């Protein structure tokens, strides 16, 4: 850009013959736009709505994973941190057991019998107790070496692990060169092989291929991004959409509950939506969705008409902290049933596990998606956000962020969205 301002007549006209250097341009992008770019973007979207380019009534939501400006080979994995902590705890327990065998009297009243939850201070105290107990006694040379290493390295290592875990927050990995970037599986190879690379999950909502909202996320799963995206959409534009159209990657009880609370029509597919339209699926007696549920009696009926009564209820929690209630129903007697094979192959009476809330949401979504309006949205969805990402990534060859850190990457994505809207409006 600095070079273009000095050589390209179009850039020279736009800048009024000013020649800022690349440092000035970068500072403006990274610092001056912080906290204000969203407002500028929202004003452009309102301008589009006022002039009839978009209506803001329905949005098409989708995401893509874009590589971060980070080293692909310097990474930290949450599982690796947990394994390292567990290994230290296991070795500390072995040292304690050895010390107990050699000097049981000195360690009899300490009560140090669990090393699963360890911290730097506890490790220092335990090693000090072991040292005191073994002082003046004949100890195996390897044990002495391990104690020396443990005293020098383990507290320091645990402090480092704690700092890395704080950077990771709820993620499973991050890059050392850009700690905000998470390792995600991307399909960019010509053979369509999945590759783990540091990146960000870039979500956009579109209408008529104009970008109405954008958010950056550190989780590779699209399911967990919907609520935050809609909240930011409403916060910056001052309105909420009447309908959201998205693929099965966003279909979950948590998202359906959120959209119902917001009073937004959920044209959001769920897993197996297309498969359940087939004749084979509908005639399969083993599918829980094909069983009739009597809401008044709170029971299901098997393919032979036998009632399956309520047994118990339990609660589960997703990785995102959302609580789901599931109920278990069981048939009274399956012995001698002619449908024993295709319906149920177990030795005992058939037992099913059902999420009634999700079942209700799926019924509503199924009706919406198969309605005339739903068919229209479904036909239009593949040419909305996916086409926009195609223009940005393939036509404009933008496949990797240039800046580092979530705040700066969000500015970069905002500039891309802003440029896309203006170019499309002018073109």
Contact 203, 247 (CB under 8 A): no
Structure tokens at 360: 């209700």
Contact 184, 71 (CB under 8 A): no
- 356 band by pLDDT with thresholds 50, 70 and 90: very high
Q: For residue 422, which phi and psi values (nearest 5 degrees)?
A: -65, -40
Per-residue model confidence (pLDDT) at position 129: 80
* Fold topology of 36-70+182-267+369-426: Nucleotidyltransferase; domain 5 (3.30.420)
Per-residue model confidence (pLDDT) at position 342: 83
- 320 band by pLDDT with thresholds 50, 70 and 90: confident
Residues of the chain with pLDDT > 90: what percent? 56
DSSP string, 158-202: HHHHHHHHHHHTT-SEEESSSTT-EEEEE--STT---EEEEEEEE
Q: How far is the CA of 334 from the CAs of 309, 310, 352, in angstroms?
A: 13, 16, 13
**CA dihedral over 161, 163, 166, 172, signed as positive or negative:** negative
- 131 band by pLDDT with thresholds 50, 70 and 90: confident
Rounded CA separation 287/28 (Å):
58
Find tokens 């534009």 and name the residue: 237
Per-residue model confidence (pLDDT) at position 113: 52
What number is the average pLDDT over the span 141-149? 84
- 116 band by pLDDT with thresholds 50, 70 and 90: low
Per-residue model confidence (pLDDT) at position 105: 57
Q: For residue 179, which phi and psi values (nearest 5 degrees)?
A: -60, -20
Per-residue model confidence (pLDDT) at position 173: 93
Does 334 score more than 90 pLDDT?
A: no
Per-residue model confidence (pLDDT) at position 283: 86
DSSP string, 324-348: EEEEEEEES--TT-TTHHHH--SSS
Per-residue model confidence (pLDDT) at position 188: 65
Q: Among residues 225, 245, 233, 229, which one has the least CA distance to residue 58?
A: 245
Q: Among residues 350, 303, 358, which one has the least CA distance to residue 329?
A: 350
pTM for the model: 0.86
Per-residue model confidence (pLDDT) at position 115: 65
What number is the average pLDDT over the span 346-358? 90
- 337 band by pLDDT with thresholds 50, 70 and 90: confident
Rounded CA separation 139/133 (Å):
11
Per-residue model confidence (pLDDT) at position 106: 55
Tens-digit pLDDT profile for residues 200-244:
999 999 999 999 999 999 999 999 999 999 999 999 999 999 999
Tens-digit pLDDT profile for residues 191-202:
666 688 999 999
Per-residue model confidence (pLDDT) at position 195: 80
Per-residue model confidence (pLDDT) at position 66: 93
Highest average pLDDT, of 87-101, 254-268, 279-293, comes from 254-268
Q: Among residues 230, 232, 252, 263, which one has the least CA distance to residue 323?
A: 252
Mean pLDDT for all residues in the chain: 89
Cβ neighbours around 337 below 10 Å, total = 17
Find tokens 């440029």 and name the residue: 419
Tens-digit pLDDT profile for residues 375-420:
999 999 999 999 999 999 999 999 999 999 999 999 999 999 999 9
- 190 band by pLDDT with thresholds 50, 70 and 90: low
Query: Which DSSP category does 250 fall into?
Result: G
Q: Among residues 348, 351, 344, 337, which one has the least CA distance to residue 309?
A: 351
Contact 276, 369 (CB under 8 A): no
- 186 band by pLDDT with thresholds 50, 70 and 90: confident
Q: Among residues 223, 321, 340, 230, which one has the least CA distance to residue 271?
A: 223
- 146-150's contacts with Cβ under 8 Å and 24+ in sequence apart are 146/91, 146/95, 147/95, 150/91, 150/92, 150/95, 150/123
Query: Which DSSP category does 8 fall into?
Result: -
All structural domains of the chain with their residue ranges: 1-32, 36-70+182-267+369-426, 76-174, 275-356
Pairing outcome for strands 173-175 and 292-294: unpaired
* 302 contacts: CB under 8 Å, gap ≥ 6: 285, 291, 308, 331, 339, 343, 350
Tens-digit pLDDT profile for residues 58-114:
999 999 999 999 998 889 999 999 899 888 888 888 888 877 777 665 555 554 555
Query: Which DSSP category does 384 fall into?
Result: T
Does 348 score more than 70 pLDDT?
A: yes
């Amino acid at each position: 850009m600095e070079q273009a301002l000095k050589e390209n007549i179009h850039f020279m006209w736009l800048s009024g013959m000013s020649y800022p250097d690349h440092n000035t341009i970068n500072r403006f992008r990274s610092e001056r736009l912080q906290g204000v770019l969203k407002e500028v973007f929202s004003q452009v979207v309102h301008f589009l709505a006022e002039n009839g380019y978009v209506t803001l009534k329905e949005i098409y939501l989708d995401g893509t994973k874009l590589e971060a400006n980070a080293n692909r080979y310097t990474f930290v994995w949450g599982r690796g941190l947990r394994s390292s902590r567990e290994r230290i705890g296991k070795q500390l327990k072995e040292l304690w057991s050895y010390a107990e065998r050699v000097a049981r009297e000195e360690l009899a009243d300490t009560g140090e019998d669990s090393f699963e939850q360890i911290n730097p201070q506890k490790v220092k105290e335990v090693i000090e107790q072991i040292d005191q107990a073994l002082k003046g006694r004949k100890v195996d040379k390897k044990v002495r070496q391990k104690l020396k290493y443990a005293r020098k390295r383990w507290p320091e290592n645990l402090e480092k692990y704690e700092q890395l875990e704080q950077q990771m927050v709820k993620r499973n990995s991050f890059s050392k060169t850009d700690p905000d970037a998470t390792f995600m599986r991307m399909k960019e190879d010509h053979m369509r092989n999945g590759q783990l690379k540091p990146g960000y999950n870039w979500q956009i909502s579109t209408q008529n291929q104009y970008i109405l909202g954008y958010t950056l996320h550190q989780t590779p799963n699209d399911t967990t991004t919907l609520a935050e995206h809609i909240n930011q959409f409403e916060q910056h534009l001052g309105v909420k959409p009447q309908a959201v159209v998205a693929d099965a990657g966003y279909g979950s009880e948590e998202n359906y509950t959120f959209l119902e609370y917001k009073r937004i029509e959920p044209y959001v597919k769920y897993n197996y939506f297309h498969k359940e339209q087939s004749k084979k699926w509908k005639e399969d007696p083993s599918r829980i969705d094909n069983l009739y549920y009597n809401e008044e009696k709170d029971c299901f009926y098997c393919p032979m008409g036998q009632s399956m009564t309520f047994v118990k209820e339990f609660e589960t929690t997703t990785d995102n902290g959302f609580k789901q209630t599931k109920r278990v129903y069981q048939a009274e007697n399956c012995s001698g049933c002619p449908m024993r094979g295709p319906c149920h192959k177990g030795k005992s009476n058939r037992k099913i596990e059902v999420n009634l809330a999700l079942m209700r949401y799926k019924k509503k979504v199924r009706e919406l998606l198969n309605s005339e309006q739903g068919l229209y949205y479904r036909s239009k969805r593949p040419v909305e956000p996916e086409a926009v990402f195609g223009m940005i990534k393939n036509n404009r060859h933008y496949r990797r962020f240039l800046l580092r850190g979530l705040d700066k990457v969000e500015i970069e994505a905002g500039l891309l969205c802003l440029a896309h809207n203006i170019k499309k409006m002018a073109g």
